[in-house]
Amino acid sequence: MTGHVHGTDVDVSRDLLGAIGGVPTPPTDMVVDATNVEKWFGKLHVLRDVSLTVKRQEVVVVLGPSGSGKTTFIRCVNHLEKIQSGRIFVNGHLIGYRDVNGKLVEDKEANIARQRQEIGMVFQRFNLFPHKTALENIIEAPIQVRGTPKDEAIEMGRALLTRVGLAAKEGSYPSQLSGGQQQRVAIARALAMKPALMLFDEPTSALDPEMIGEVLEVMKELAREGMTMIVVTHEMGFAKEVADRVVMMDDGVVVEEGTPEHFFSNPTHERTKSFLSKIL
Amino acid sequence: MKFDPAEFLNFTFTWRDVLIGAIITTLLMAVVAQIIGVLLGLIAALAGRSRNPLVKAISVIYVWFFRGTPVLVQIYLLYFGLPYLLGIDPFPKQYGSLPELIGGGFVAVTLALGVNEGAYMSEIIRAGILSVDSGQAEAAKSLGMTPRKTMQRIVLPQALRVIVPPLGNEFNNMIKTTSLASVVGVTELVLLAQNRYGATFQPFEPLLGICVFYLAMTTIWGVIQGRIERRLGAGTRSEDVPGFWSRMTGAGRGRQGDTGGVR
C-alpha cells in the first residue's frame, strides 16, 4: 500500500472482492481475445488491425496519445461501439455479433445486454445515475438485471460501499459527492454485477489531483485480489506498479506491447520512446 | 361605465349549481385530454426514435399534421366530419344511461384535444430524452440493462425533470383550450356565460365571472405543479425550482429547461 505517487488517507478494505463473494472465475483462461479489429468513424480509420489478448487475472494497461484509439478499443470490448471487421471474444463469447458465414451480423439487444453483464465498465465522467443515491446506484442493476432480491442486493451494496471506504455515504446523491467519491461508487456499481472483466476508461482523468490517489488505491486493491482488468490511463505510476502488461497504441495501431520493465526501461519502438519522453 | 356589480356577483355566486357542473366538465375534459396527450406523446416520441423507418414515419406525420393544423378545425373534423364519413353518429347527445355531461360533444372534443396535445407532448418528451446525457444510457447498458430497461429506469426518470415544467404549461393551456368545446354545444364555462348574456344582453359581467374561475383553476394547478417539481428535484439543488410567484408571473424563469444536476 506504499510507494504510490498520490498520497491518500482513504481506508480501502483489503478484501474488496469479498463483498461480491470472491474473485469471479470466468470459464476460460483467456478472458479477452480480440483479433484483427477494424473500426471506422465514417471515413476516419480509428482502429487498424488491433489484436489483444487478456488472460485471467491479468492487468493490461493501455497507453497512448489522445486520438490513438485506446478508448474506442475498450468501448468495442463491451460493444458500446460497433466494429467493421475482426472478432472480439470475451469469455469465449463473440461480443455484439453473430458470425454468419464469416460475416459480422449485429446480435439482438437482449443477447448483447446479457454479454455486458459479465463486463464491468468505469467511465471517465463516472456516469452515476443522478436521481439515485450511492446505494441505489449500486443495487439497481443486480435487482433489475440479475433479479437479485432487494435485501440481498442492499446487503451486498453496503458491503461494497464499505470496501471502497464510503459506508457513510450510502444515502448521498452523486451531486453531494466529490469526484473521487463518485468514481469509487461507480467502481462499486460495476463490481455489484460480479463481472469477470473490468474495463477502466481513463478513470482518473476527470478528477482533481488530490482525488486521483483514492481511486487508484481501489483499483490497485482490485488488481491485487485478482480481478482481470483493462485500464486506459495516463497514470504511469499505476502502470509501472500494477500492470502485468503495457500496450502502447498510436493512430489506431498497437505499436508496442510488453511488461512494464521492458516498456519503461528500454522500449524498442521510436513512437513509444517519444511518447514516454513527453509524459515521464 | 356600464359595469353592473350586482349582475357580476349574481352570475358568479348564485348560479352555483350550474357553474359547478360547468367547472367539472371543464376540468374533466382537460385532465382526460392531457392524459391522452401524454400517452400518445410518449408513444410518438419513442416511435420517433425507432430504427424501423415505417414506425418513425408514422410518428413524424402525426406530429406534422396535428401541430400544423388548427385545433378548432381538428374538433370540427372529428365532430362533424366523422359522422359524415361513417354514416353513423359516434357522438350522440347522450350515451345510453351515462350522465348527460359525458355526451357526444364532450367525447369528441376531449379526443380531439388529446390527440392534438399528443403531438406537442411528443416534442416535449423527445427534448426531455435528448437532454439526458448519453453517458447515462451507456452506463446502464454497460451494466447489462436492455434498451427498454435503460429507458424505463434511467433515461425517462431523468427526462422527467425537463419534461414536467413544460408539461405543466401544457396543462395550464389545456384548461383554457377546453373553452373551444362551446362551439359544439358542450356546457362548459364559456357556453354558460354566452347563455347568460344571450338572455341579459350584459356580456361583460358573466365573461369576467368565468375569468375568476379559470384563474382559480390555473392558480391551484400552479401550486400543485410546484410541489411536483420540487419532489422531482431530489438530488439537485432546490433553488433551481421556481417559487410560487415566479411561477405565476413567469418572472425569473430564465433557467427553465435546465437539467439540474444532470451532467
The Cα-based distances of A70 to A186, A232, A243, B137, B204 in angstroms read 21, 7, 16, 21, 73
ipTM for the complex?
0.89
What's the confidence (pLDDT) of residue B234?
Answer: 54
Are the C-beta atoms of A235 and A216 separated by less than 8 Å? Answer: yes
> Could you read off the pLDDT of B81-126 as tens digits, one per residue?
999 999 898 898 888 888 888 889 999 999 999 999 999 999 999 9
Rg of chain A over all Cα atoms, to the nearest angstrom = 18
Q: In chain B, what residues touch A176 (CB-CB under 8 Å)?
A: 235
Are the C-beta atoms of B45 and B125 separated by less than 8 Å? Answer: yes
Q: Which residues 124-143 of B have a C-beta within 8 angstroms of A?
A: 133, 135-136, 138-143
A130: pLDDT strictly greater than 90: yes
Q: How far apart are the first and last CA of chain B?
A: 58
What's the confidence (pLDDT) of residue B101?
Answer: 81
Chain B nearest-CA residue for A123: B139
Domains of chain B: residue spans and CATH: 5-254 (1.10.3720.10)
Q: Choose from A81, A91, A106, A131 for mutation: most chain B CBs within 10 A.
A: A131
Mapped onto helix, strand or coil, the DSSP state of residue A244 is coil
Chain B nearest-CA residue for A112: B144
Contacts of A157 (CB under 8 A, 6+ apart): A135, A138, A139, A142, A170, A188, A192
Is A189's CB within 8 Å of B143's CB? yes
CA distance B247 to chain A (A): 24
Is B235's CB within 8 Å of A113's CB? no
> Could you read off the pLDDT of B168-219 as tens digits, one per residue?
999 999 999 999 999 999 999 999 999 999 999 999 999 999 999 999 999 9
Is A119's CB within 8 Å of B262's CB? no
Is B158's CB within 8 Å of A131's CB? yes
Residue for grid cell 357542473: B21
Mean pLDDT of B227-253: 63
What does the DSSP 8-state code read for residue A108?
Answer: P
Using a CB–CB cutoff of 8 Å, tell me whether A130 touches chain B. yes
Q: Which residues 228-267 of A have a C-beta within 8 angstroms of B?
A: none
> Could you read off the pLDDT of B48-91 as tens digits, one per residue?
998 899 999 999 999 999 999 999 999 999 999 999 999 898 89
- Residue A131 C-beta-side C-alpha neighbours within 13 Å: 19
What's the confidence (pLDDT) of residue B95?
Answer: 86
Using a CB–CB cutoff of 8 Å, tell me whether B211 touches chain A. no
C-alpha A74/C-alpha A41 separation (Å) is 15
Is A140's CB within 8 Å of B153's CB? yes
What's the confidence (pLDDT) of residue A25?
Answer: 67
What's the confidence (pLDDT) of residue B254?
Answer: 44
Are the C-beta atoms of A186 and A128 separated by less than 8 Å? Answer: yes
pTM of the model: 0.83
Rg of chain B over all Cα atoms, to the nearest angstrom = 21
Is B145's CB within 8 Å of A173's CB? no
Is A189's CB within 8 Å of B142's CB? no
- The region of weakest confidence among A18-22, A82-86, B231-235 is B231-235
Mean pLDDT of A199-213: 95
Using a CB–CB cutoff of 8 Å, tell me whether A119 touches chain B. yes
B98, with CB counted inside 10 A (0-12, 13-18, 19+), is exposed
Q: In chain A, what residues touch B146 (CB-CB under 8 Å)?
A: 109-110, 113
What rounded mean pLDDT belongs to chain A?
91
Q: Choose from A95, A119, A144 for mutation: most chain B CBs within 10 A.
A: A144
What's the confidence (pLDDT) of residue B17?
Answer: 80
Is B263's CB within 8 Å of A145's CB? no
C-alpha cell at A117: 453483464
